Structure 1
């Protein structure tokens, strides 16, 4: 079951991926880095953690980017949604009831409209449990998770009709990239509006079965050949961990790491690597892993790895392994 400890650990893990010294982050936030396994965080520690993560990564959109890189499965809630829901509408209804497992600083409500439905994220009213800054980071994280997890439930990339925030954003283009639509300003509302057509869409569980398999086995997947290249390793791990809806593009990874594509390419070049080579290695690792499991249709694996054409995936797989997918492991 999920609790605030998991959120804290995910914040720390993402900050580490962004090259932040974990010991420094913990000490600044009043957290003993030696006792993370037995941590029982306070709300004050969480707020300090948000602030220090933003400061040390120099990323004012840290919560937004964490939400983009963090799948809800990592928070332990997707399994509950898939097991207890038949449609997207049911999943969202159950999600609204499960938000308290993630945090008591925010609740979720769903309103039906004419041709649309709206997901509201409602900040807690108790000022002792949150600050405006920390609340904004957490609420943006949850909003991004809602959008990206709907992709997995429906096995398609969806675009919200609108997103509203109760403040003017400092980087509209980056918010639009992550939310997939231009955010608007409201008086006091955090909300995402979707077309009604999505409400009764049946949930496809195969994609999350693939993700569950991936998360269980991720530690056994090979790292890039040059283990000394720490930045390429972080990029590789990011691609693997977020691959169940396709591999992230160079531009998306660069933005998530709060740098330009040119800077990301330069850092990789300094280590003798490139995004293209790392992406190819990630695809190969994932393809071999999924195919060898023998549990999933090749068309699903092909789609997951970004191949719209099964024949193109089969050709790539044979180039990597010397065998067609149907013959692999035989």
Structure 2
């Protein structure tokens, strides 16, 4: 049986690398042997180790909203078998119901309740017994994480960005703009409970069959390269990592990347310039790689490929593809599919 809490911890450490945290230092502070924890046969992590991992990752990242940003970046595929079950559900409602059912396998900090009625449905995140009192900071980081992750996992299931109609969460005024950005809601209510409400039209939204095989390959590649990234420290490589893992939802803006990495947009541009690359070049390279794959597979019409890669107009995708290859997407696809 998979150890889902350990899997989440490993993904947290992978994200810590993107935040420029030394894994050796993080592991030492949390009392975790990095080699041993990667071994599936090793003992489960203790509650203290998990709490120390969250506490020190938050402190070393200098990001008080570490959990929120971690949830924004993580993909449902990272949950292993549970993620596969969620991803292969028939509708959003079914997927969220599965997620609520198996939340206890991933954490004992909270449970999830999903309720659909009338014109809306709500997801409530219910604190576990004494979880808030035991470690308030860890509790808050994990609640932020699961709220952001749940919202963004739905994106990956239907290939569109949905917006809650209402969010209830304890939030300080200074942090409100970032919660509004990540949770995509301008109706955030400062409350003592944790809840997201959505329009009922999303409940029966069918889960689309995208190229998840490609995504799995890319995510495995990202995981395998984490150690190399921790040594090279190249910002462009860490951003490329993030873009590959999220590209099927349309590439995020430079401002979104900067917020996720806890730096200003201007500082991010300057650091990339020092490495001899621009964000536009990185995003173009990712789009080109995925466009070629989708067209070569023969499973997607050009218009759908354009939409998946985040182009609002087919003409914009055509211009970009001609710039990359010297030909049009239609001509390229026909050439790939023509019999020898």
After TM superposition, list the pairs within 5 Å mapping 1:180-329 onto structure 2. 180-182=184-186, 183-187=188-192, 189-206=193-210, 208=212, 211-212=215-216, 214-215=218-219, 230-324=234-328, 325-327=332-334, 329=336
Would the aligned equivalents of 2:5 and 2:107 in 1 still touch at CA under 8 Å?
yes
Deviation at 1:231, TM superposition (A): 1.0
Question: 1:27 maps to what in 2?
Answer: 28
Partners of 1:256 and 1:219 lie apart in 2 by 18
Range 29-38 or range 56-65, more displaced? 29-38
Would the aligned equivalents of 1:243 and 1:305 in 2 still touch at CA under 8 Å?
yes
Deviation at 1:128, TM superposition (A): 9.9
Alignment partner for residue 87 of structure 2, among 82, 89, 94?
82
Would the aligned equivalents of 1:151 and 1:157 in 2 still touch at CA under 8 Å?
yes
Partners of 2:179 and 2:124 lie apart in 1 by 18
Question: 2:143 maps to what in 1?
Answer: 139
Range 58-67 or range 275-284, more displaced? 275-284
Deviation at 1:79, TM superposition (A): 2.0
Give secondary structure in 1 for the equivalent of 2:60. helix
Provide closer, same or farther for how the CA distance between residues 300 and 98 of structure 1 changes in structure 2, counting only shifts above 3 A.
farther
Structure 2, unpaired ranges of 5+: 226-230
Structure 1, unpaired ranges of 5+: 222-226
Would the aligned equivalents of 2:235 and 2:271 in 1 still touch at CA under 8 Å?
yes
After TM superposition, list the pairs within 5 Å mapping 1:41-60 onto structure 2. 41-60=45-64
Partners of 1:220 and 1:109 lie apart in 2 by 35
Range 66-75 or range 160-169, more displaced? 160-169
Provide closer, same or farther for how the CA distance between residues 64 and 50 of structure 1 changes in structure 2, counting only shifts above 3 A.
same
Partners of 2:233 and 2:103 lie apart in 1 by 38
Give secondary structure in 2 for the equivalent of 1:100. helix
Partners of 1:14 and 1:228 lie apart in 2 by 16
Partners of 1:166 and 1:319 lie apart in 2 by 48
Question: 2:14 maps to what in 1?
Answer: 13
Would the aligned equivalents of 2:109 and 2:131 in 1 still touch at CA under 8 Å?
no
Partners of 1:88 and 1:156 lie apart in 2 by 12
Provide closer, same or farther for how the CA distance between residues 169 and 4 of structure 1 changes in structure 2, counting only shifts above 3 A.
farther
Number of aligned pairs? 323
Alignment partner for residue 163 of structure 1, among 160, 167, 191?
167
The TM-score with structure 2 as length reference comes to: 0.87
Partners of 1:98 and 1:280 lie apart in 2 by 38
Provide closer, same or farther for how the CA distance between residues 48 and 191 of structure 1 changes in structure 2, counting only shifts above 3 A.
same
Provide closer, same or farther for how the CA distance between residues 96 and 283 of structure 1 changes in structure 2, counting only shifts above 3 A.
same
Partners of 1:246 and 1:192 lie apart in 2 by 23
Deviation at 1:152, TM superposition (A): 2.4
- Describe the superposition over 1:202-244 as per-residue Cα deviations: whole angstroms up to 9, x where unpaired: 22222645534543566899xxxxx978111111111111111
- Describe the superposition over 1:127-176 as per-residue Cα deviations: whole angstroms up to 9, x where unpaired: 49952211111121111111112222232211101111135364111111
- Describe the superposition over 1:101-124 as per-residue Cα deviations: whole angstroms up to 9, x where unpaired: 221221100123442111001121
- Aligned-pair Cα RMSD in Å: 2.5
Give secondary structure in 1 for the equivalent of 2:144. helix
Would the aligned equivalents of 2:311 and 2:317 in 1 still touch at CA under 8 Å?
yes
- Describe the superposition over 1:21-48 as per-residue Cα deviations: whole angstroms up to 9, x where unpaired: 1100110111123323125311111111
